[in-house]
Amino acid sequence: MRKITAVCLGLALLFCAACNLQDTKEDADWPHYQGDPGSNQYSVLTQVNKSNVRDLEIAWIYRSGDADSLNRSQIQCNPLVIDGILYGTNPNLKLFALDAANGDLIWSFDPFENNYNLFGMGVNRGLAYWADQGERRIFYCAGNYIHAVNATNGALAGSFGEGGRVDIRKGLGDAAEGKFVVANSPGVIYDSLFIIGTRVSEAMGAAPGDIRAFNVHTGNLEWIFHTIPHPGEFGHETWPEDAWQDMGGANAWSGMSVDHDRGIVFVPTGSAAYDFYGGDRHGKNLFANCLIALNANTGERIWHFQTIHHDLWDRDLPAPPNLVTLEIEGKKVDAVAQINKAGYVFLFDRVTGDPVFPIQEVEVPSSDLKGEKTWSTQPVPTKPPRFSRSALDENDLTERTPEAHAFVRAIWQSLKKGREFIPPSTEGTLLLPGFDGGGEWGGAAVDPQGIMYVNASEMPWIIKMIEFQTEDDGLLASKGRNIYGAHCQLCHGADRKGASIYTVPSLVEVKSRKSAEEIKGIIQHGQGMMPSFNLSDSDIRAITAFLFDSKEKMSGEEQNSSLARESWKYPYFMSGYVRFKDHEGYPALKPPWGTLNAIDLNNGTIKWKVTLGDHPELTTEDNEPTGTENYGGPLVTKGGIVVIAATLDEKIRAFDRETGALLWEHDLPAAGFATPSTYSIDGKQYIVIACGGGKIGVKSGDAYVAFSLPD
């Protein structure tokens, strides 16, 4: 089969998709994360279409191994398919190559050499492919390293960095030394550059979220863009004077899109750390929560738009933007469309950054937390309408059972609520959509007609701030409580019950399962999804005392080193990631709890909305599905179908692209919390999905499942 560079292949696919000309192509690849450099999750294939999708059957299953027996592992990978070879990752981030026609293993690469007690298990959402003059490489991140792997044999490409690896903290300076820096989403290839963002901590002391470009041949750092501007850089005045020296976050964790013709990389960023209190970062805080257009050659800013000023709600931009061509009032407009967690779609001219539809700055409430200073307005698009609910009135509360209604109503009455952008509070603030959207990392699919297909979760969450407490009682556990609040509480929760947002385990009665020495090892080295923490032996002893409910007194030395403001300078901790559910664990609001939406970007209207997923145990008189929370995105094809898994009920489904009607569904071996890929080999079309499960209470899996029409 003919080899072609990733750049040329991506442009060819985009050109053909725009012109609707690729029906006769015998083979079609999926050569980029989310399908193409513009992240549109669109395929020109038509063999599987509205008339025959009901006949899809399993073509092959590949068991990648390493699913966690405790159901905490996941696979979120949107696999690449190039020249008949499928590239994906397993729950332990092992990279593999398969014969995409039958699922047979060609090679595999283990980035950790089976040392999975160290942090690194995590998740991976995709890969980047580069080829030039017969050399082919797969770039992806595992643990603290970018790996360049020979796409032919699975060996590290020795010329890249040190033996095929580059420390992902390279170029971040002392501010990242020993800190949590990884990358779940893949970087992008532009000419001879690998451009990458990162995931960093969301608490105090986070590493900076700078965007960097590395040479694909050597691993040398070619350029860096500071998302917290240094003195003399644009946006420096939107922070306190010295913020660039010790502030972190404002990171591009969700991936990027590239306009190769114009040489522009479009970068969405997340919030600044600490996520929920900004008393030490008064100002708008550029370039947190921004869509940034950068010169892909140099990293220089072309334009930006900030979607949240001084974020206090963890409203990261959660997915790569879609590069689309629209018809606005009879004129062709090359645009960029950015979804967000709040269920908005922001649309801009790709070159100038001018909004396609007006964006209003609306006045918002101020904070009553000590030292906080919220920004007085926030941007809200006038079009399209948001694709998920934003208000939870009393008549929206669940009526699943009288007991469920009474339970959630009592909590609802105690919360701050009533409108969007109410700041975090000690009473508890209602957030809808919640921390996981609305829109999420699965992104949106867009067809050449400018119709966007995007799934949304309909789950309210609660932000509650807890005041920093003194340690006057002299107990070691009291010191540990504050250290736990600073470093552990966001994920494990104030009640220590864990959080399904990251499949975080409960620490209630942990003393019956782990010794003090085992806890120390986990804190120092990390385990599974948990990173390591650079804490002193004294601090670890204090956390252990808190977890074990010890009544041991602090020594004199420990009292002198008690957690002070230089260790945790904020007056509050956030209580943890808390979904607002009824007493039996179902969402506090009436269904649907998950939707799939079609949005006409040309005129800014919702074309259709359907329920996505079901809790089959909740039968209703009309037998309507409930919808479920969902992770992973949709695929849309010229054959007229939208394919998506993503739901808790462990199914994959196909919908009519025009009407939203359900055309087909099939059980999966585990939930497909990933975005499917489609490709054709020798004229046969396949649809493949990673089935890793492992989130929000469902079992973990290790399978990639490919579907095709019967011969």
Find out whether 430 and 580 touch, Cβ atoms under 8 Å: yes
| Cα 538 to Cα 325: distance, rounded to the nearest angstrom | 58
Q: Would you state the pLDDT for residue 519?
A: 87
Q: Is residue 217 part of a domain?
A: yes
Q: Choose the final residue of a domain: 569, 604, 631.
A: 569
Q: Is residue 585 part of a domain?
A: no
Q: Would you state the pLDDT for residue 710?
A: 98
Find out whether 59 and 657 touch, Cβ atoms under 8 Å: no
Q: Would you state the pLDDT for residue 493?
A: 79
> CB within 8 A of 282, min separation 6: which ones?
240, 310, 373
Q: Is residue 578 part of a domain?
A: no
Q: What is the DSSP letter of 492?
A: H
**Residue 355 shares a structural domain with residue 438:** yes
**Residue 10 shares a structural domain with residue 111:** yes
**Residue 455 shares a structural domain with residue 484:** no
Q: Choose the final residue of a domain: 535, 569, 603.
A: 569
Q: Is residue 421 part of a domain?
A: no
Concatenated DSSP letters of 524-585: HH-BTTBPP----HHHHHHHHHHHTT--PBPPHHHHHTS--TTTS-SSEEE---EE-B-TTS
| Cα 682 to Cα 476: distance, rounded to the nearest angstrom | 68
Q: Is residue 574 part of a domain?
A: no
Q: Is residue 251 part of a domain?
A: yes
Rounded (10°) CA dihedral 102, 106, 111, 115: 80
Q: Is residue 406 part of a domain?
A: no
| Cα 186 to Cα 195: distance, rounded to the nearest angstrom | 9
Q: Would you state the pLDDT for residue 24?
A: 39
Closest CA to 198 of 164, 135, 248: 248
Q: Is residue 208 part of a domain?
A: yes
**Residue 204 shares a structural domain with residue 350:** yes
**Residue 444 shares a structural domain with residue 507:** no
CATH of the domain at 493: 1.10.760.10
Q: Would you state the pLDDT for residue 529?
A: 62
**Residue 497 shares a structural domain with residue 631:** no
pTM of the model: 0.90
Q: What domain range includes position 497?
A: 469-569
Q: Would you state the pLDDT for residue 11?
A: 39
Tokens of 269: 């960023």
Q: Helices in 234-376 by DSSP H: which ranges?
A: 243-246
Q: In the chain, how many domains are there? A: 2
Q: Choose the final residue of a domain: 538, 569, 600.
A: 569
**Residue 557 shares a structural domain with residue 611:** no
CATH of the domain at 23: 2.140.10.10
Closest CA to 125 of 396, 264, 320, 330: 320
- pLDDT tens digit string along 310-338? 999 999 999 999 999 999 999 999 999 99
**Residue 47 shares a structural domain with residue 75:** yes
**Residue 644 shares a structural domain with residue 534:** no
Q: Would you state the pLDDT for residue 8?
A: 40
**Residue 455 shares a structural domain with residue 473:** no
**Residue 616 shares a structural domain with residue 695:** yes
Tell me which residues of the chain have a pLDDT lower than 70. Answer: 1-26, 114-121, 470-472, 486, 490, 499-503, 528-529, 531-532, 556-567, 621
Q: Would you state the pLDDT for residue 4?
A: 35
**Residue 552 shares a structural domain with residue 617:** no
